[in-house]
Structure 1
Amino acid sequence: MSYKSSFSGNNRGGFAPRKGRGGWGRPFAKPREPVKPDIEKYPLGKLLQTLQASDLIPEQNGLSHKAAITDCQYIASYNWLNNSTPTIIVPGKPAQWTPLQDPPRLKEDSGQYFRDPNAARYPDFPMAPVVHAILGSDPDYCPTRVNLFACGSTLGNLLRFVRGMDKAFRFNIEVIGNTVFFVRKENDPKEIIMDVHGFGHSFPEAYTTWDNEVKGSETHQRIVQYTFGDLKCLVRFECDGYIKPDGRTSNHKSPTKSSNRHTSSSTEDEDDLLKALLGTAVSQTLHATTNGSDTIIIKHGGSEVPQNSVFDLKTRSIRSKWGIDMNEVYPLLWLKQIPNFIAAYHDGNGLFQDIRVQDVREDVQKWEKDNVDAIHRLSILLGKIIEMAKEDARGLLEVYYTGTGGLEVRSQYGEGTHALPVELMNKWADNETPLEIPDSDESDDAAFDFDDAHSSKQGWKLDWEEEEPDYTACSAEDCGYCGTCTY
C-alpha cells in the first residue's frame, strides 16, 4: 500500500451512513444532470436585483482591502446522533483516522444518504443546532460582532459563481441582530442523493472510527470563525475526520510505525486511562424546545479537536481518466480552513492500495494567491448581498441562480422562512440569556493536548506575505452526483 503519509490502526466500528463523497467504480457511468432548484414547489419572491460576476470588479466597487481569510479559530462543534428524536452531542468529536494494515476489498455503497443532514434531522430550523452549540459552549460569546453566518455549501456556491461555473443553486437569507444568516435550501429537507455508486461511503466506514464517547454519531459538524476582507464570518461545515497527532489510534492493538508530521508525548497507558475515563462519563442532557412540541435534545460529550488535525477525503478509481481535480478541492478546503486531505484510490472493485494523507496548507495558499481576482469578487458579492439584506424591511431575502446569467437577489416568497426559532433569535440578537451546556463530569474534559504550539481553538491562516464541485468524487458539500467527475 502506498501512502504519502502512512499510519496503521484498526477498522472502523459503529459508523452510521454519511452524506455522499467519493469515487465510483464504473469507468463508463452515464453523466447525470445536477439537481436544480424546484421553483414550482417553492415559488420565487419578487426580484430585487440581478448581479453579474463581470460587474464585481474591485476597482469599480471601491474594494480597499486585500480579500483574504485571516485569524481563523475553531469556535464550536457538535455531532448528530442516529436517534429518532433530533439529538446532538456538544462538542462531539470527528471520526478518527484508523487505516488498515491489511486492506480488505470493500463492498460498493448501498443505502440512502441525505443531501443535507442538518435539514434532514431538524427541518424546521437546520441552523438552530449551530447556535445551541456556540452559545452553550461559550456563554460569553458575543454574536453582535458577527457579520455573516453561513455554511460551506452556500459559500461554495457563491465562490463557484464568481469563478464562472454553471451550477444552479438557491439559499435563504435572514438578518438577526447584526448577523446575516445564509441558510442552505434544497428541494426537500430530507432530499436524498440519488443513484449512489462506488465506495465513497464504505471507505470511511472502514478507515475511520467514532471514539467511545461519541459512538452512534452520524456526522460531525464544525464551526470556525475568521475574518474575510472586512467581514467577521462564522462558517459551519461537515468534517470527515481527524488525524491523531502521533499517528496512533485510541483503538490500536499493536505499536504503530508512523511517518506522520505531528508529535505527541502521550503514552499508551495514558490512552488506556483516557478511554476508561471517557467510558464511565455520564452525559447530561438539555431539552431545548424551539416551537411547541418541537424539541432538540442536546447532550454534553466528546472533546474539542483542533482545526489543524481535521481532514477532508475523497475516493477515486485508479482507472479514472479524470483523476482528482485538486483545483476543485482547494477552494472548498480554503473556505472551510481544513489543512489535511486524504486521497484514496481503489482498483475499481473496492481494494484501496494507494492512500495519500497530505498536508495541503501550502497548496491551498498557492491556490489563494493564484485566484485573487475571484476571491476579491467573492468579497464584493458578499458585501452587496449583506447590504441588501440589511436594507430590506423584513430582512428576509433569498439568492437564486439558474446556472447561467446573473445571480438573482429576491424577497422571500409569502411570509418567508426564519433561520431560527424566536427564542434563539432573541438570544442571538442581544445575547442576554445564552444557553448553557451542563458539565456532566470532570472526565468529559480529559482530552489530549493535540497542539504543542497552538491553542485547541486556534485554526490556520492562508494569507500570503507578498503585495466543482463534489460531484460523486469531489468534495463539495452539496454533491449533485452529476457524473462529471465520476469514478
Structure 2
Amino acid sequence: MDSFSGSSRGGFAPRGGRGARGRGGRAPFLTKTRETNPDLEKHPLGCLIKEFGSPDLGLNPVDLAKISDCQYVASYNWLNDEVPTIVIPGKPPQWTPLQEPQRLKEDSGQYFRDPNAAMYPDYPMAPVVNAVLETDSEFDAARTDVFACGSTLGNLLRFARGIDKAFRFNVVVIGDTVFFMRKDNDPREVIKDVRGFGHTFPEAYTTWEHSVKGSETHQRIIRYKFGGFSCLVRFESDGYIPDSSAVTNTTPANTAVGQGDLFQAFQGATISQQPTINKLGSLKIKQGGSPVPQKSIFDLKTRSGKYKKDIDMSDILPQLWINQIPNFIVAYHDGRGLFEDIRVRDVSDDVQAWVTDNSDGIRRFATLLDKIVDIARSNSDKLLEVYCPGKEHLEVREQYGDGAHALPADLRDGLDGSKDGDGGDISDGDEYYDSDEYGFDNRSDDSSEELDYTACSAHDCGYCGKCTY
C-alpha cells in the first residue's frame, strides 16, 4: 500500500437548504497556521492545583500504551433546526463521488468552531450522553474511566510529544468517570475570511440519506482501552464508504452518483449561508438513521495539487489513531476547484507504522492521562480545568468562578443509574422526544511557500472552525 506523507483538519458550518451541511475536517490547509490561543482575560484562570512539564512524564509500560478493544457505542446527527435537535443513532453521509469532475465554487459563509457547543452551549456533552443512554438502556457508567473527545485527547498527545500548542479544557468528575470538555473562547465562535474548497467538495461528493435528511454533522462515540483506562471518545465523522472492502487508491466508480443527482449535489455545494443560532433551552431528540460499522468510516481532506506534492500525513495519522478511523480520502484540485485526483485509501498500516515510530510519545501520553485522572478523582468535589500555555508545562487548575458542569442534573442521575423506571426516555423538560417522520431505516440509499487553503493543519488554523484533533 502506498503511503501518504501529513496535514489536518477543522470545521463546521450549519447551512440551510436541501442537502446542505457543514462538517469538521475540511478546513483549508495553511502552511502558516493562525491559531486561536486561550483568552485569559475573558476566561481567567483559577487556583493552581498541579503543574508539570513534558520532561517530568515517565514512560508508561508498553502494554498499557496502546489502544485495544475498540467498539462502536453510539452516534447521533445534529439537524439544522431552530430548536437544538439530534437524531439517534443518525448516520454519516455516504461517499457518492461524481461520475465526471465538475468545477466547484470556493467556500463562503461562516463556520462554527465546535458544533456541539454552538448548538447546545449550556451542556455540550449532554447530546453525547443522551445518545449513549438512548442506545444502551443498560449502560453502566461505572465501566467508564474517561469520557472525552478527539480534540482534548489530541491536545494531550501533542503535549506529551513535545509539540508547542496552547490549549485548555474543563475536567469534571461524575461518579468515578472523568469528563474532558473542550473549552473555546466562545462556544459560538465563528471564523471569518473563509477560503478554499474544504466544504464544497464534501457537499458535492457525499450524500445524506433519506433517514437523516436535514443533517448538519454526524457525531460518533467509541469505547476502547488505553493506559489502563476504559475510554469513551466522541469525534465527528466525515462520512462512510458503503463497501469498505472496495477501498482503492482512486475514486470508486461503483459509488458514483448519476447525472440526475448532479444538480442537487451542486445546490448544496454553492450555497453561502450564515450559521444557524439555535435557541437555548430544550434539546429535541428524534430516532432515525442506522448504525454504521467503524471499518467503513473515513476522514477527508482537500488540497491543492498545484505543486504536485503529496499531502503531509504527520499531523493526520495521530488523529486517525485517536479516533480509530481506518480510511482516508485526499482530494487534489487544480487551484480553481476542479478535482481530478481523488484517492481513497485504507490507511490502517500507515497508522500502525506511526504508532511504532512514536511509541515513546504515546507512552508519555498514557502517563499524562493517568496523572490527570488521578488529580481529578482526588479533587472530585471541584470543577477543574487543564491549561497548557505551550510545550514547556501543563497546569491543572480549579475552574474560575462558578465553573461549568458537564451535564444537567437529570443526566448526572442517569449516569448514576437513576433513570426513569421504564429505562426509556430521559425527560424533565430539558429534553423531549419526537418520532415525527423519522424512523429507523436500515436501507442504504446506494443511489512552495504559497498559502494553501484546502486542507487544515492539525493545529487550530483559525479558518473553518472545529479542529477536532
Query: Shorter-chain TM-score: which interval?
Result: 0.7 to 0.9
Q: Which runs of 5+ in 1 are unaligned?
A: 5-11, 249-255, 261-292, 451-469, 483-487
1:178 aligned to which of 176, 183, 190 = 176
Match of 2:442 in 1: 447
Match of 2:456 in 1: 474
Q: Distance in 2 between matches of 1:324 and 1:164?
A: 23
Greater RCO structure (CA 8 Å; 6+ sep): 2
1:414 aligned to which of 381, 401, 406 = 401
| Pairing 1:167–2:168 present | no
Q: CA deviation at 1:229?
A: 2.4
CA contact (8 A) 1:20 1:115 kept: no
Match of 1:35 in 2: 36
Amino acid in the other structure paired with 1:103:
P
CA contact (8 A) 1:300 1:440 kept: yes
| Pairing 1:141–2:139 present | yes
Residues 87-126 of structure 1: pairs in structure 2 closer than 5 A: 87-126=85-124
Match of 1:394 in 2: 381
2:291 aligned to which of 294, 300, 304 = 304
Q: Distance in 1 between matches of 2:62 and 2:353?
A: 22
Q: CA deviation at 1:478?
A: 4.9
Match of 1:227 in 2: 225
Q: CA deviation at 1:32?
A: 4.8
| CA offsets 1:105-127 (integer angstroms, 9 cap, x no match) | 00000001100000000001000
CA contact (8 A) 1:471 1:479 kept: no
Q: Distance in 2 between matches of 1:15 and 1:408?
A: 41
CA contact (8 A) 2:25 2:456 kept: no
Amino acid in the other structure paired with 2:329:
I
CA contact (8 A) 2:34 2:460 kept: no
Match of 1:21 in 2: 26
| Pair 1:362–1:76, CA change in 2 (3 A) | same
Q: CA deviation at 1:343?
A: 0.5
Match of 1:157 in 2: 155
RMSD of aligned alpha carbons: 3.0
CA contact (8 A) 1:246 1:258 kept: no
Q: CA deviation at 1:474?
A: 3.3
Match of 2:281 in 1: 294
Match of 1:355 in 2: 342
Match of 1:77 in 2: 75
CA contact (8 A) 1:153 1:478 kept: no
Q: CA deviation at 1:182?
A: 0.2
Q: Distance in 1 between matches of 2:57 and 2:20?
A: 44
- TM-score by structure 2 length? 0.81
CA contact (8 A) 2:171 2:386 kept: yes
Q: Distance in 1 between matches of 2:286 and 2:94?
A: 20
- Secondary structure of the corresponding residue to residue 148 of structure 2: strand
Q: Distance in 2 between matches of 1:72 and 1:380?
A: 20
Match of 2:191 in 1: 193
CA contact (8 A) 2:34 2:461 kept: no
1:436 aligned to which of 425, 437, 453 = 425
| CA offsets 1:71-106 (integer angstroms, 9 cap, x no match) | 000100000000011000000000000001111100
Q: Distance in 2 between matches of 1:217 and 1:55?
A: 45
Residues 246-261 of structure 1: pairs in structure 2 closer than 5 A: 257-258=253-254
- TM-score by structure 1 length? 0.78
CA contact (8 A) 1:170 1:401 kept: yes
2:318 aligned to which of 331, 345, 351 = 331
Q: Distance in 2 between matches of 1:230 and 1:334?
A: 17
Match of 1:374 in 2: 361
- Secondary structure of the corresponding residue to residue 392 of structure 2: coil
Residues 278-293 of structure 1: pairs in structure 2 closer than 5 A: none
| CA offsets 1:367-412 (integer angstroms, 9 cap, x no match) | 1111111111111101100100111152311011112420111111
CA contact (8 A) 1:19 1:113 kept: no
Q: Distance in 2 between matches of 1:473 and 1:195?
A: 15
Amino acid in the other structure paired with 1:217:
S
Amino acid in the other structure paired with 1:14:
G
Q: CA deviation at 1:213?
A: 1.0
CA contact (8 A) 2:47 2:400 kept: yes
| CA offsets 1:52-81 (integer angstroms, 9 cap, x no match) | 1111122xx7x4743100000010000000
Q: Distance in 2 between matches of 1:30 and 1:315?
A: 14
| Pair 1:407–1:321, CA change in 2 (3 A) | farther
CA contact (8 A) 2:24 2:236 kept: no
Match of 2:45 in 1: 44
| Pair 1:246–1:155, CA change in 2 (3 A) | closer
Amino acid in the other structure paired with 2:410:
E
Q: Distance in 2 between matches of 1:72 and 1:144?
A: 18
Q: Distance in 2 between matches of 1:66 and 1:153?
A: 21
| Pair 1:181–1:320, CA change in 2 (3 A) | farther
CA contact (8 A) 1:114 1:191 kept: yes
Amino acid in the other structure paired with 1:169:
F
**Count of aligned positions:** 408
- Secondary structure of the corresponding residue to residue 327 of structure 1: coil
Amino acid in the other structure paired with 2:51:
T
Q: Distance in 2 between matches of 1:233 and 1:31?
A: 33
Q: CA deviation at 1:360?
A: 0.6
Q: CA deviation at 1:481?
A: 3.8
